[in-house]
Amino acid sequence: MKKLLIAASVLALTACSAPSEPQLTINPQPVISAQPTAKGQALSIESRDLRTAQFIAVVDSGRQNVQPLHATQNLRVTLEEALSRQLRSQGYTLTESSQGTLRLDILEAIVNVKHSVMSHEMTTKLQLQLVVESPKGKFVKRYSGKSARNGAMSASVEDMEEAMNNLISAVLKDIYADPDLNTYMQENL
């Protein structure tokens, strides 16, 4: 009986250490403002992931061989943290007890990769929605980006990470520089 228990334990441990699917590390670079423009307006931030599927990439190798890849960390948390850093650098005070709220909705975030024998096509799409609510009103705007790249051989996990990180960083830059959003937040929070 002891031998059977030991064999089952070894089998369970080796199953846990078996190689798993590769995952993408998402680490976007928010815009860090050198000169804060907000005057310490209080704001609470929250986020929602409204995507129908939680994977971040889909690799199609042909012959009905499609592999979804997930992120190493929760994408919603990663994007909320990046946007929070960006807003703090702009001079906003992030607090739970604020009358003004900013909600980040993730509508789409995907890297589609199609492999052939000697090349790959990679298309990256991102769509975010910001909803700013205060006692004075509501502001809703969508921000999106798309990029496409072709290359020789197959796309690596690092290629997919770079494509998504660059696109998220570009959309964060659009959010930072949006005059409508900045004006609304400064006048209504």
Cα–Cα distance, 127 to 162 (Å, whole number): 17
**pLDDT tens column, 24-57:** 999 999 999 988 888 889 999 999 999 999 999 9
Instruction: In whole angstroms, give the CA distance from residue 56 to residue 72.
Output: 10
User: Which residue(s) pair with 113 in the sheet?
Assistant: 59, 122
Give the DSSP H or E segment for 106: strand 101-115
| Average pLDDT of the residues in 143-155 | 91
Predicted confidence (pLDDT) at residue 117 exceeds the cutoff of 80: no
Q: Domains along the chain? A: 38-188 (3.30.160)
Per the model's pLDDT, the better-predicted residue between 53 and 3 turns out to be 53
Helices (H) and strands (E) in the chain, counts: 4, 7
pLDDT of residue 52: 93
**Could you tell me whether strands 119-134 and 66-69 are parallel, antiparallel, or unpaired per DSSP bridges?**
unpaired
pLDDT at 4: 56
pTM of the model: 0.85
